[in-house]
Amino acid sequence: METIRQDRINNLLQKDLGEIFQVEMRHVSLGAMITVTKVKITPDLSLAKIYLSLFATKDKAALLKSIRSHTKEIRGKLGNRVRNQLRVIPELNFYIDDSLDYIEKIDNLLND
C-alpha cells in the first residue's frame, strides 16, 4: 500500500516527465508520441518505475532502448524541475505499458 507522500511524488513525477518527453526530449522520441501512464516509486524514494505508452512507432523496443540510453539526461532535466520538492532524485527505470494493447485485444475477442 502506498503512502500519501508516495502518491504525491508519483503524480509529480508523472506530470513533470510527461512535459519533459513532450517538450525537451523530442530528439529521443524519433517522431513518436510518448505518454507517461503510471509512475510507481519505492517506499524509500530511491527508485521510480515509469510506465510509458508509445504511439506512432513501429518498433517500440528500439524506442524504449533509445529512451533508456538517455536516462541520465532525463533524470538531470527532472532534477532541475523538482529540486525544491525532493531531496534526492530517484533512479529511473522505464517500461512499456501495454495495458491499452491488452484492452484492445480483449475487446476484439469479445466482438468476434
Positive or negative, the CA dihedral 87, 14, 81, 65 is positive
Contacts of 47 (CB under 8 A, 6+ apart): 41, 90, 91, 93
Q: List the domain boundaries for the chain.
A: 4-111
Listing DSSP states for the chain in one string gives ---HHHHHHHHHHHHHHHHIIIII-HHHHTT-EEEEEEEEE-TTSSEEEEEEEEES-S-HHHHHHHHHHTHHHHHHHHHHHHTTT-SSPPEEEEEE--HHHHHHHHHHHHH-
Cα(83)–Cα(77) distance, integer angstroms: 10
Thinking of the domain 4-111, which architecture would CATH place it in? 2-Layer Sandwich (3.30)
Please report where in the chains the cell 524514494 appears, as a residue.
45
For residues 34, 27, 63, 38, the Cα torsion angle rounded to the nearest 10 degrees is: -30
110 pLDDT exceeds 90? no
pLDDT in tens, 11-25: 999 999 999 999 998
pLDDT at 102: 78
Total residue count of the chain as it appears in this document: 112
pLDDT at 51: 96
100 pLDDT exceeds 80? no
pTM for the predicted model, two decimal places: 0.87
